[in-house]
Structure formats: C-alpha cells, structure tokens
Chains A and B, each alone.
Chain A
C-alpha cells in the first residue's frame, strides 16, 4: 500500500507519510475506518479536563489500537508556553508516550501559533525528554531555531486550521524545506487530496490531515483519497519534476509532418 520510501522521525520509521487527527468525527466507528483506509501510522489526540458533572465517557484510547499507531498528543487550546508545558506533562501521563505536537496559539480567529512561545516551550520540553513536533507558521528562521533546540520535526501550516483553503503558503514552505535537517510536516488547512499531493511534490516529508477527512461526506473514502494523494506527491517528488518553460514545446517530432502544398508557392 505504501511503495514509497520510509519516513523516519526521532529514530522511528514509518511507511506512511500521512498523519491523521482524530477530532470532529461523527463516531469512533467512522474514525477507526478512516484511520484504516488512510494507512496512517501516526494519530493525534487532544487532552481535556474530565467533565466532573458527567464523568461517564467513551474512551478514545480504548477505541484506538495503540500497538498500531504512534500516538501524538497535542497541546491544542494552550495560549502560552507555560500552559503548553503543563498540558504536555499531563499528556505524557495520560497516554504514556512522550511524543508531542506542540501548539501555542493565542489567536482564536485564525488559530495562528505564537513563534516565541512555541520556541520557549519546545526548548523546555526537549529538556524534559519529550519528542517535540511543533506547529508553526512557515518561517525558515524559526524552523532552524526549532531544529537547534532539538525538535524532531517542524510542522508549518498550509492555511488556517480547519479552513480547508489548501496550500496557500507554498513559497514560504519552500524556504522551510530548503536545508531542513529534520522532517517537515505540512499541517493544517489542507482541503482535498491534491493539496496533500502538492505539499509532497514540493518536498514536504509528510502531511497531517484532520478536518478534510472528518468533514467529508464520506470520510473513509476521503481518507483513502488522501493516502493516494500523498503517495502520488511523494513519488512525483522523488521522480524529479521537469523544468518549466515560458512557451510550448511540441511533444511530437517536428520533422516529417504531412502538409498540404502552400497555395502561394504552387506555380499557376
């Protein structure tokens, strides 16, 4: 199912380059079928307070095959580095894994990450033994700084979270990819499988998708479609794209074309 080259993050190797979120699904049955159809091996989860007035709840962790998926808890909802560090420690205690999708997001409208708070939290969490995958705007200077403090990947956004607006930041993501020392995972805003293909064609190492699959009319079919988009994009990247030209270049030989006599050249 995944004939492309493997992806290695923090010493762990994955055959799938498609990470999936587990939010917004109608129910666990659909979510599990979508995860299956996507071929994903890395899935994100959120950490929230238990409802004290209604403690009985369905357990997401019980619904997931934890031998099969690398869990990637996030710090979604955290507005500051301090909140993110606290939620990270709760996430590790709740899941038993030290991988963390670091989100420090003070802005509720566009859900844009705070680059300074993200870098501060990343440095603290790496020091505490976490494998940190930070969510950021596509900023090459920030990306290199996150690499230097020991982040396992950098996850630049394609467009705002949940917007489905596609890869609007490709020129900036190009600069993040150029010289990257860790895998670059395009996260957030992808709407259709061709968006994922485009990200992989650019050279992104992986993508993370949630809303585009969970809110599709048929999430399971869309999960499979994204898997194919990722595979097509990666193969296209590895195959090496042709050079662009300003004008046309005929695909058929120009010599030996059958022509009618030019009327002006014919003797009367």
Chain B
C-alpha cells in the first residue's frame, strides 16, 4: 500500500485507526483519503485497509 506517496508495509487486518496510531498521527485537524473516499480525520471510520490502497493524510498549512 501507499501512504502519502511512499510505499508502506502492509499487514493483513490493518485498519485505518491502527495505521494512524502506528504513524503517531492525531486525527483531529487532518483529512484522510483512502482511494476515492475522503474523511475529516476525526470522523474517519476504522475501516480495514487493503494491500493496494492509496492513503493520503493531509493538513492545512500556511499558503496563498
């Protein structure tokens, strides 16, 4: 699977919440995409991930 453009080791049974814990990311104030599903971080379901999933985890930063 890919997380933020990088290959990420996949383990069967891995869920989205487990991935966030593994990456030490607090879900508040981030947004997450799994494929074409988009979630505010705080409302992301603890869905099971698949080996081919493309995951994006983003936040708002300063910009014009």
Contact = CB atoms under 8 A, between A and B. Distances in A.
Given A49-B58, A50-B4, A55-B23, A23 B33 contact: no
- The prevalent SS among residues of B at the interface is strand
Contacts of B39: 93
Contact of B59 (A87, A94, A188): A94
Contacts of B33: 86, 89-90, 93
Contacts of A24: 62, 64
A174 interface: no
B64 A94 contact: no
B58 to A, nearest CB: 5
Contacts of A50: 4, 25, 30, 57-59
Given A59-B29, A61-B29, A92-B38, A21 B63 contact: yes
A47 B6 CA distance: 18
A76 B60 CA distance: 12
Contacts, number: 108
A45 B60 contact: yes
A161 B41 CA distance: 31
Nearest to B32: A93
B16 interface: no
Contacts of A86: 33, 56
Interface residues of A, number: 40
A22 B62 contact: yes
Contact of B62 (A46, A52, A55, A89): A46
Kindly name the residue among B29, B41, B62 whose own CB sees the greatest number of chain A CB atoms within 10 A.
B62
A171 interface: no
Contacts of A73: 60
Contacts of B5: 49
B15 to A, nearest CB: 17
Contacts of A60: 59-62
A95 interface: yes
A208 B31 CA distance: 26
B23 A94 contact: no
A14 interface: no
A19 to B, nearest CB: 9
B40 A96 contact: yes
Contacts of A159: none
24 contacts: A21-B62, A21-B64, A22-B64, A45-B60, A46-B60, A46-B63, A47-B31, A48-B58, A48-B61, A49-B4, A49-B56, A50-B58, A52-B3, A57-B59, A73-B60, A86-B33, A86-B56, A87-B58, A90-B31, A93-B31, A93-B38, A161-B64, A208-B64, A211-B64
In order of increasing CB-CB distance, the 7 nearest A-B pairs are: A46-B63, A21-B64, A210-B64, A94-B31, A93-B31, A22-B62, A23-B63
Interface of B: 3-6, 23-26, 29-33, 38-41, 56-64
Interface of A: 21-25, 31, 44-50, 52, 55, 57, 59-62, 71, 73-74, 76, 86-87, 89-96, 161-162, 188, 208, 210-211
